[in-house]
Amino acid sequence: MAFKRVTIVDIWELIRRSNDGQNISSIAGTLGNDRKTIRKYLNHLKAKGVQLGMMPVDKEQLMPLLQDIVSESERPAAKQMVFEPYLKELVYLVNEKGLKPKTAFRVVCQKNELEGKVSYSSFKRYARRNHITLTGNTTTCRIEVPAGSQMQIDYCKAGLLPELRMNRQRVVYAFILTLSFSRHKYVEFVYSQDQQSFVSSHVNAFNFFGGVPRTGVLDNLKAGVISPSLYDPQFNRSYREMAEYYGCFLDPARVRHPKDKGKVERDVQTVREKFKELLALDPSITLPELNQAIRQWLLNDYGMRKHGTTGREPYLVFLQEEKPQLLPLPAEPFEAAFWKEATVHPDHYIQVRKKSYSVPHRYVGKKVWAKITHNTVQIYYNEELIKQHPIALGHSQTDQNDFPENLRFALDTGLPRQLQNVAAGIGPNFAQLIRNVLSPHAYMNLRRAFGLIDVGKAYPREIIERASGNVDAGRGLTPRYFRAFVEKLLSMEAQQAETLPVSEETRSFTRPVGYFIH
């Protein structure tokens, strides 16, 4: 079998599935690895002293060990790339000429002198990854599963919902989760398909059922799956955390293979039609009212009808046979966090939701993951927590210890000191403004300080001093903004000069121009 890179996340998923009692063949089929690969990593873990089958396992304590295993096993995978220049030819031979994939492989190898350079197993992996398959009619085999073992998940666009107060229409999506054994389902109408909405809908569904199925089959939508590959499924981190919290496992369907989750796929048109019916009955219905109505319908109407395939009532089958087999709910529901990958910029900050958070110096230039909850931002590198901040109230959140001493104490030496001396020649307010801009990492903001000083030299000192006392030296202060601010001050003074002269007594009641500038 061709090489497939194994990550820390893959090994942790292997541990979870092994501790769940799944055998090597089952794990290999789900994760897309060869059985020998699964066995190799299980032996690696045992050799490192990991006691498999002893749940729970402390994930944080295992991180350094898992990183060592990944480092020892890494090697480049280049064999499949040999076929990249011949992809169009392979697709043509298989789908247009009707050749079997193995025959197409031999033809391409003979025509391009590849014989002996690549194996057929590498070609098979490449063919699966690029969906090089024979076209034509196929048959369908319905697969039934044990009670409580599987859920199938789908998202669809339900329609447009009028918002009468806002005088507009909004797109409504339907989250559908169907239990494969009983066909009982949960439906939730939402305005968004982002990762937090997706995870929250799962949590609501588990509460609705009063338990959790052991596995889930879902579409390769971005809210759940980052990499849409059957052989290398990468889940959004919030979604993966949710699955670990509830003890269930996630298996993405193949790309463009809706029959992999046919039990929920058939429900899409049913839910869309019900949405239209509810909207026709009450054109002013709201989203919460829609969700309440659809759940009552699932319990009292749809759930009590005989299913066309099973011939049994889904809700009754769920209560009598499936609900007792579901995994129990934890004491507290899962709190969905927002995860975002970010780069640590040279100024030691990452950008998350239009706010900046400092990261220690040794991670500059590296990719990290930020986990955002309602009150904290946690930053991870290689699955290790490296920094935690409270949610920034302003534009940024800074920890001075994240910057090396040569940057933190560079304000009073070299070029930063010279710039402050130039600014002091214009006025004390401007000098303080430049010092604030250069803190806490002077050399990262030299260009911005140079630009501000150029503006300071181009206008009268008095106006620069007044402007410097009324602006914030935060990260949003650019030379362009400062110049516009100064121009506004000049314009206001010119308008004031054109007014009729007033007595000294009247002037004593006036306020300075800076009072009106925010």
pLDDT score of 136 more than 50: no
Q: Which pLDDT score is estimated for 197? A: 84
- The mean pLDDT of 403-419, rounded to a whole number, is 71
Tokens of 181: 């054994």
Lowest-pLDDT range, 124-133, 161-170, 391-400? 124-133
Lowest-pLDDT range, 281-295, 311-325, 340-354, 400-414? 400-414
Start-to-end CA span in the chain (Å): 66
pLDDT band at 231 (very low <50, low <70, confident <90, very high): very low
Which of 224-228, 318-322, 389-393 holds the top average pLDDT? 318-322
Identify which has the larger pLDDT, 233 or 39.
39
Tokens of 312: 């049994």
Q: What's the CA angle centered on 299, arms 296 and 303, to 5 degrees?
A: 135
Q: Which residues contact 459 (CB under 8 A, 6 or more apart)?
A: 486, 490
- The mean pLDDT of 337-349, rounded to a whole number, is 83
Radius of gyration over every alpha carbon of the chain, rounded to an integer in angstroms: 31
Q: Which pLDDT score is estimated for 229? A: 40
pLDDT band at 134 (very low <50, low <70, confident <90, very high): very low
Identify which has the larger pLDDT, 215 or 405.
215
pLDDT score of 258 more than 80: no
Distance between CA atoms of residues 163 and 40, nearest Å = 58
Identify which has the larger pLDDT, 101 or 210.
210
Q: Which pLDDT score is estimated for 291? A: 94
Element (H, E) at 469: none
Identify which has the larger pLDDT, 34 or 365.
365
Q: Which pLDDT score is estimated for 52? A: 76
Distance between CA atoms of residues 209 and 318, nearest Å = 9
Distance between CA atoms of residues 483 and 448, nearest Å = 13
Query: How many residues are given for the chain?
Result: 518
Identify which has the larger pLDDT, 257 or 367.
367
User: pLDDT above 70 covers what percent of the chain?
Assistant: 79
Q: Which pLDDT score is estimated for 475? A: 63
CB atoms within 10 A of CB 443: 15
- The mean pLDDT of 446-463, rounded to a whole number, is 88
Q: Which pLDDT score is estimated for 55? A: 55
pLDDT band at 135 (very low <50, low <70, confident <90, very high): very low
pLDDT score of 128 more than 80: no
Identify which has the larger pLDDT, 220 or 209.
209
pLDDT score of 2 more than 80: no
pLDDT score of 1 more than 50: no
Beta-bridge mates of residue 407: none
pLDDT score of 359 more than 80: yes
Q: Which pLDDT score is estimated for 512? A: 63
pLDDT band at 513 (very low <50, low <70, confident <90, very high): low
Sign of CA dihedral 80, 86, 87, 93: negative
DSSP 93: I
Identify which has the larger pLDDT, 195 or 221.
195
Q: Which pLDDT score is estimated for 220? A: 56
- The overall average pLDDT reported for the chain is 79
pLDDT score of 68 more than 80: no
Tokens of 106: 């031999």
Element (H, E) at 186: strand 185-190
Q: Which pLDDT score is estimated for 227? A: 43
Sign of CA dihedral 487, 491, 493, 494: positive
- The mean pLDDT of 412-441, rounded to a whole number, is 83
CB atoms within 10 A of CB 256: 9
- The mean pLDDT of 314-338, rounded to a whole number, is 90
- The mean pLDDT of 335-356, rounded to a whole number, is 84
pLDDT score of 186 more than 90: yes
- The mean pLDDT of 367-396, rounded to a whole number, is 87
Q: Which pLDDT score is estimated for 233? A: 44
pLDDT band at 92 (very low <50, low <70, confident <90, very high): confident
- Pairing of the two strands 150-163 and 168-179: antiparallel
Identify which has the larger pLDDT, 177 or 217.
177
pLDDT score of 286 more than 50: yes
Q: What is the DSSP string of 467-487?
A: HHTTS--STT--HHHHHHHHH
The CATH superfamily holding the domain 150-325 is Ribonuclease H-like superfamily/Ribonuclease H (3.30.420.10)
Q: What is the DSSP string of 112-172?
A: TT-TTTS-HHHHHHHHHHTT----S----------TTSEEEEEEEEEEEEEETTTTEEEEE
pLDDT score of 49 more than 70: yes
Query: 470, 514 in Cβ contact below 8 A?
Result: yes
Residue 39: strand, helix, or coil: helix
3-state percent breakdown (helix, strand, coil) of the chain, nearest 5? 50, 15, 35
Identify which has the larger pLDDT, 493 or 490.
490
pLDDT band at 493 (very low <50, low <70, confident <90, very high): confident
pLDDT band at 387 (very low <50, low <70, confident <90, very high): very high
- The mean pLDDT of 143-170, rounded to a whole number, is 83
pLDDT score of 499 more than 70: no
- The mean pLDDT of 262-281, rounded to a whole number, is 85
